Amino acid sequence: MRKHRLDSVGLVAKGKVDAAANRLRDARQNEAAEQSRLDQLTEFSREFDQFLDRRDNDTLSPRQLEEYRRFMHRLHGAVDQQSQTAAATADAVASSSADWQQASLYERTLKNLIIQQNAEAARAEEKKEQAKIEAAWRQSSDSEP
């Protein structure tokens, strides 16, 4: 009975490890997507900065120059925001990784306990069987003339 109860606990632990692994996988995928967005925004911002640097400011009207400045301000704000989002997803990956490691360690410890308990139960069963055999042997030798 004890064996079956521990096996059930082991199955629950396995389920927790699987769930933690799924959360970690999802967090890593989300991190990769957010980092890709950040890389794209950063590259676009860099290219646009270079375009404006090459452009002769004398050929731009004051209105155009102001519109470019506003656009660049919004673009740099978007890069900053995306950078924060990417950092938050990296933190989520670290947290999910720690959760998975903890669940995995618990599962391995529990598996080792189950193996130990099963081995002890098998040894106890062997001793019982050996005692039965010895008792039967003694009984048969006592009944011989």
Q: Which structural domains are found in the chain, ordered by start? A: 2-143 (1.10.287.1700)
For the record, the structure tokens of 123 come out as 């040894």
pLDDT tens, residue order, the chain (145 aa): 455 677 888 889 999 999 999 999 999 999 999 999 999 999 999 998 887 777 766 677 888 888 888 998 999 999 999 999 999 999 999 999 999 999 999 999 999 998 898 899 899 999 999 999 988 888 877 766 5
Residue of 42, 47, 113 whose CA lies nearest to 82: 42
Torsions phi, psi for 107 (to 5 deg): -65, -45
- In the prediction, which pLDDT does 68 show? 85
pLDDT of residue 144: 61
Q: Alpha helices of the chain — where are they, by DSSP H?
A: 2-54, 62-143
